[in-house]
Structure 1
């Protein structure tokens, strides 16, 4: 076998190994991601509060894929950086925030996206605003517990504000 024939054979064999091995990602796990409702603290018109978008992996397995938490804020509010994690992204109008978490959330563990929220100064005290958040991941096997609502109560400003 001459050198050229040997090189072609080696390249063909290497390509066959790479193609048969498939992509370098893991199959989705058997996980149940569950969102937990935690209402932000009440605040006054023009004030600030924070949403803790809390997600638990009920298991039985550690996640093999990323998960995304998407927060939908009500009218009269706007998300304000800094977020946690710091790579969360807000939409142009500041009412939708997407936060991506890496694979590896162990069973019986939690992850939280923190979104600071600014309330419009023209909101009326006594108003109750409703938003929502959801989690999405190829690993999640139970879509029935992936979304929840939350409420922000608008209160009278006190003399310290």
Structure 2
């Protein structure tokens, strides 16, 4: 009879002691992205000419030569020549100025399909004391951990300083 009492005592205990745990809902675990065979390339585009003290825009044009869609974020770096300073707003809006105003860094999410492009727009102001001519030393670079060909990931650009048009 003692065994029967033990069962009766157990049954009279808290209700959680007798319940089986509910099965946990299945949790979907996202698979880690696999390395893509995307080849990002910087296409050279020189900014429009501007007068000393004027503004122009650097177009950082990035093309995915494929064959895959990018599976990781990539970064575009715009390095400015001496006498040129960044002047937002930038596109994308999350771009950030670095290295004492000499560089603008823009991050792009994964998902750029093959044979498509992405562009960062970096408005800049030319110093008022610049001489008429061509400024060199600017560049656009792209960084992507999956890019197998880094030989096409950087291009220089030139900024042409022109005389101020009469009447302006």
TM over 0.5: yes
For residues 4-59 of structure 1, what are the alpha-carbon distances to aligned partners after superposition, in whole Å with 9 as ceiling and x for unaligned?
Answer: xx87xx99xx9xx99xx7x7531221110011000001111000000100000000
SS in 2 for 1:49: strand
Aligned-pair CA distance for 1:156: 0.9
The answer on whether the counterparts of 1:130 and 1:152 sit within 8 Å (CA) in structure 2 is no
Q: Which consecutive residues of structure 1, in runs of 5 or more, have no partner in the other structure?
A: none
Structure richer in helix, relative to its length: 1
Whether 1:87 aligns to 2:94 is yes
1:30-109 to 2 correspondence within 5 Å? 30-91=37-98, 93-109=100-116
- Greater gyration radius: 2
- What is the TM-score with the length of structure 1 in the denominator? 0.84
The answer on whether the counterparts of 1:65 and 1:103 sit within 8 Å (CA) in structure 2 is yes
Distance 1:105 1:66 in 2: 9
SS in 1 for 2:146: coil
Q: Which consecutive residues of structure 2, in runs of 5 or more, have no partner in the other structure?
A: 1-16
The answer on whether the counterparts of 2:134 and 2:158 sit within 8 Å (CA) in structure 1 is no
SS in 2 for 1:144: helix
- What is the TM-score with the length of structure 2 in the denominator? 0.80
The answer on whether the counterparts of 1:36 and 1:148 sit within 8 Å (CA) in structure 2 is yes
